Structure 1
Amino acid sequence: MCASPFTLHCRSSECSARRGELQTRHGVVQTPIFMPVGTQGTVKSVSPANLKEMNAQIILGNTYHLFIRPGHKLIEKFGGLHGFMNWDRPILTDSGGFQIFSLQQLAKITEEGAAFRSHLDGSKLFLGPEEAIAVQQALGSDVMMCLDTCIPYPADRKTTVNSTNLTSRWAARCRSAHSSREQLLFGIVQGGVYPELREQSAAELIDIGFDGYAIGGLSVGEPKELMHGMTEVTVPHLPQDRAVYLMGVGTPEDLVEGVWRGIDMFDCVMPTRNARNGTLFTSTGKIVIKNSKYREDKEPLDGSCDCYTCKNFSRAYLRHLFVSREILSYHLNTIHNLHYYLNLMEQIRKSIEIDSFARFREDFYGRLESE
């Protein structure tokens, strides 16, 4: 196995939080980090320039959706996803496993892979481990993910065992198909809500050997306590010299709790999706901007936020845009929510550096109010 692309700088003396960096071919990513989700080669309603202004270090693209439209071979002709969308910083692509899980009524999963029908036109398609790697290599992402099998919550032990074992077999095939070694490849730990299966999955992936490790199959409907519990029991079984990525998580509170338990990387559609639905994150809690109490409110969304939206517009104006269904509402709301998430992670990194993350966590919860 090659030298790790992850460098650990310091740890918290109070919990499992850690501060590090991940080296990729398009730059160094400072961790812990949140990755905005750009499902179809775009983070919805914001431009690459907007993302750079808010210091997004790395974004996520979706293998399944880009495979279906416009197609990885077309994107490859433009120099990969970086050239296609004009983004010169790191990109992580997920494997498509979660989308196949989400569209399971259209898919049939076998040992070979997933045969499914396009959700766009019903055409027959196939994505196995080798295909998932080939697509991601064509996309040219900096971090690729192994194809895995995700199961719903709840799932019985037999179903979870079968899924976990298949994920490990697919991971070995992904590693064998991985020829572009300048692109990092992460394995995905499965195991449902069974600690012993999580431990087994981690051990099998470590035997194969990956550049980093992700924890998958969480945030699929299980209680928060169980999600945090599974994270807590899984992290100690993963190598300390590799980045650990908790997939599809989550709320600001989830990020704080994930870092507390040793997570380095996060992604979630929540800040962008909630922005389009009018739910905005602030240092004192969530704001539902359509509420009538903001009709004449001259204050910014968050007085402690220095994003473009907060520096220039009132809550009253943002409410007007949202209830009028103006496109600018999506843009300004998304800028704010992503800035909030990325700034939260920057504050977390700084607190770990001075070994005061426990105090930061306490202050974070102390500021939150409920609307």
Structure 2
Amino acid sequence: MTRFRFQVAATDGKARTGAITTPRGEIRTPAFMPVGTAATVKAMMPENVRATGADILLGNTYHLMLRPGAERVAKLGGLHRFMNWDRPILTDSGGFQVMSLSDLRKLTEEGVRFKSHIDGSEHFLSPERSMEIQKLLGSDIVMCFDECPALPADRPRIEESMRLSMRWAQRSRDAFGDRPGHALFGIQQGGLEEDLRAESAEALRGIEFDGYAVGGLAVGEGQEAMFGCLDYAPGQLPQEKPRYLMGVGKPDDIVGAVQRGIDMFDCVLPSRSGRTGQAQTRFGQVNLRNARHAEDPRPLDPDCTCPCCTNYSRAYLHHVHKSQEIIAAMLLTWHNLHYYQELMQGLRDAIAAGSLDAFVAAFHARRAEGDMERL
């Protein structure tokens, strides 16, 4: 069996490009993972997600354990077969979703007892149960179970949470066991406190993981504070392992994080934006709901090669979104995912060529120009 491994092919400053090898295929890094929360990337067929250039998807432990249930997915052949995606899948641990339901949960050393947002039924998640669920789902990359406080939070709260997460990281490692071909990632916590991040990284290094996530960011702290943390946090983690920034983000967040040494990303933004009439483009975000597009025969982006831009006008996209037609979400989601994967390819190529600074300068300059002039 192909073993899980990570190789850096080239660097430019702190940025790296390379590949993660798994039994289900190679993941080119830096990588963006479209989010398939409930075993589907909303409004997309799996083969179309692949056509955008995605090497890996993210599935959600919390949502899948509630519906349809991890045991049922296992009985039906595992998550890959269930959702018709034969390439790698990363599952998050469920910790972030439980955190966001703080009014419905009770946190103890053992784990988290919470009520389902679907029907109010009571459930329990612990490091051991999270590992069991992710094994039943059959994901290729498993995330350890952690607790993540929303920012801003006071230092004692961040410190207490980080140390609990490190104890849970050890329990996650113990429960994960030996699973050849599958990887377990640890999650660094510590808020915006450099010394707490260092303490967390040291604990994770001691446990040893196949990859490491920078957790607890993009939870309300703002881009400047996030970049301030990323100026040091990735460097506290092992150089020879992939680094994953969870839940990020906007295109300029991704570009800045790649410059600071991050290898993997996920975010609901491209698919969620597609459903709300927002297009992510090389000249920034375009709102197709605006009346200025109603009679515009031009494509969304004349330089984009996705089916949305090559076959449909802004006027049509405006019309189908205003009419609440399903094709609006399909086309705009496809475009957004295509744009994100094109951005990742551009970053990989620039790092390999040693021209990342020029690429980043051009990226920001194009976005600063804004959308094309209205007709």
Assess same fold via TM > 0.5. Answer: yes
Mapping for residues 1-371 of structure 1, pairs under 5 Å: 5-12=5-12, 15-179=13-177, 180-368=179-367, 369-370=369-370
Q: Contact 1:4 / 1:241 at 8 angstroms: preserved in 2? A: no
Q: Contact 2:35 / 2:58 at 8 angstroms: preserved in 1? A: yes
How much has 1:183 moved relative to structure 2? 1.3
How much has 1:53 moved relative to structure 2? 1.4
Whole-angstrom distance in 1 between the partners of 2:91 and 2:124: 18
TM-score relative to the length of structure 1 = 0.97
The root-mean-square deviation of aligned C-alpha atoms, in Å, is: 1.0
How much has 1:23 moved relative to structure 2? 1.3
Say which is worse superposed, 155-164 or 223-232, in terms of deviation.
223-232
Q: Contact 1:91 / 1:143 at 8 angstroms: preserved in 2? A: yes
Q: Contact 1:298 / 1:315 at 8 angstroms: preserved in 2? A: yes
Residue identity matched to 1:9:
A
Residue identity matched to 1:82:
H
Residue identity matched to 1:327:
I
Whole-angstrom distance in 1 between the partners of 2:23 and 2:121: 35
Q: Contact 2:4 / 2:181 at 8 angstroms: preserved in 1? A: no
Q: Contact 1:80 / 1:139 at 8 angstroms: preserved in 2? A: yes
Q: Contact 1:290 / 1:322 at 8 angstroms: preserved in 2? A: yes
Whole-angstrom distance in 1 between the partners of 2:185 and 2:88: 15
Whole-angstrom distance in 2 between the partners of 1:229 and 1:108: 32
Whole-angstrom distance in 2 between the partners of 1:181 and 1:151: 32
SS in 2 for 1:233: coil
Q: Contact 2:293 / 2:315 at 8 angstroms: preserved in 1? A: yes
Q: Contact 2:248 / 2:265 at 8 angstroms: preserved in 1? A: yes
Q: Contact 2:114 / 2:124 at 8 angstroms: preserved in 1? A: yes
SS in 1 for 2:171: helix
How much has 1:24 moved relative to structure 2? 1.4
How much has 1:370 moved relative to structure 2? 4.0
Q: Contact 1:107 / 1:114 at 8 angstroms: preserved in 2? A: yes
TM-score relative to the length of structure 2 = 0.96
Residue identity matched to 1:7:
Q
How much has 1:4 moved relative to structure 2? 6.8
Show CA shifts across 1:77-117 (max 9, x none).
12210010110010000000100011111111110001111
SS in 1 for 2:233: helix
Structure 2 unpaired stretches of 5+: none
Q: Contact 2:4 / 2:22 at 8 angstroms: preserved in 1? A: no
Show CA shifts across 1:162-216 (max 9, x none).
0000000000000001132421000000001111101110110010000000011
Aligned length: 367
Residue identity matched to 2:203:
E
Q: Contact 1:282 / 1:340 at 8 angstroms: preserved in 2? A: yes
Residue identity matched to 2:10:
C
